[in-house]
Amino acid sequence: MNRRILTVFGATGFIGRELLRCLNNEKRDLFSVVRIFSRKNKDTSFLTDLNLNVEHIQGSITSHRDVESAVKGASHVVNLVGILYPTKNSSFDVIHHESVKNIARICNSSGVQQLIHISALGSSLNSSSEYARTKALGEKAALSLFPRSTILKPSIVYGPEDDFFNRFHRMAKISPVLPLIGGGQTKFQPVHVNDVAQAILVSLDEKQNVVSGKVYELGGPHVKTFRELLRLLLRYSDPPLKRLLVPMPFWLAKSQAIAFELAYQLFGVAPMLTRDQVELLKADNIVTAGSLNLLDLGITPKTLSKDTLSYLKS
């Protein structure tokens, strides 16, 4: 049997940690080595709780040499790297597009069997959002430079460490009102982080030969508007919260986003909202009719419920 080595870029992030937990609990013998690639000074203390043969490599995903070192000898590669807003050192294009080109090209020249690239639902070359455009460019690069790539495109990913429900829950704990950007009519199809991790594991294991060169859109069983999601958040919080939901036009949201971005530039405070995120909210984020999805991977998505949102505690 050939030695199977898995390299995971972005393993210290929200989806990455869940993927490693699932791999540890359910498919510990699937790979002889699990190689973790992370930025320098990134907290990897959680790795000590895993009974996996872990190799940890620190470096920059924008460095050809670092990526080459991480991929060398690997049979399978998963790329989970993404950013929600540009930083002083990383732009959307560099992280979502150029680094994917780098990974796919090196995978192709290194004899990697499989590349799974995690993108995002709503990615489009014609989007007014730079986040969505660069995500689409990354997908195109992966499939062009490594045609056997599998692209997984989740909607909003939720779970104990998410950046959506937790963000608005924190806001609800200190504010009597929550903003409904654009009136709160944008539609989403939230998918649980465990379902995304399972989609990756299934693609790496029993569906490996089926998923090659294909794109899967990952969404939960329910389509909800932004307003409906905030109502669920308030209802399922422990204890339940009562807050006023106030419509906020896109132009006003953009004005607030400018202030948040300025605070980030001056003081390094992570922005609660950016202008690009406002652009994203102008388009629905739901699975396209007829697209390959979780059910095609044999996964029944979890229901958005009080149980799956039990982490929302005051």
C-alpha–C-alpha distance, residues 245 and 312, integer Å = 18
Instruction: Give residue 2's pLDDT.
Output: 60
Question: Rounded to 5 degrees, what angle do the CA atoms 116, 121, 127 make?
Answer: 120
CATH superfamily of 5-157+190-219+286-297: NAD(P)-binding Rossmann-like Domain (3.40.50.720)
pLDDT confidence band for 44 (50 / 70 / 90): confident
222 secondary structure, DSSP code: -
CA distances in angstroms from 232 to 11, 165, 239, 280, listed in the order given? 30, 10, 13, 21
Please write the tens of the pLDDT for every residue from 184-233: 999 999 999 999 999 999 999 989 999 999 999 999 999 999 999 999 99
pLDDT at 39 over 90: no
Residue 110's Cβ-count burial label (10 Å; 0-12, 13-18, 19+) is: middle
pLDDT tens for 90-139 read 999 999 999 999 999 999 999 999 999 999 999 999 999 999 999 999 99
Q: Where are the beta strands (DSSP E) in the chain?
A: 5-9, 33-38, 54-58, 76-79, 114-118, 150-154, 157-158, 177-181, 187-188, 191-192, 215-218, 224-225, 244-248
Question: Beta strands of 19-118 (E only): which ranges?
Answer: 33-38, 54-58, 76-79, 114-118
Residue 138 backbone dihedrals phi, psi, to 5 degrees: -65, -40
State yes or no: cis peptide before 239, omega within 30 of 0.
yes
Look at strands 224-225 and 187-188 and give their pairing.
antiparallel
Instruction: Report the percent of the chain where pLDDT is more than 90.
Output: 93
Q: Torsion angle, CA of 306/308/312/313, rounded to 10 degrees?
A: 70
Label residue 88 by pLDDT band (50, 70, 90). confident
Q: Map out the domains of the chain as residue ranges.
A: 5-157+190-219+286-297
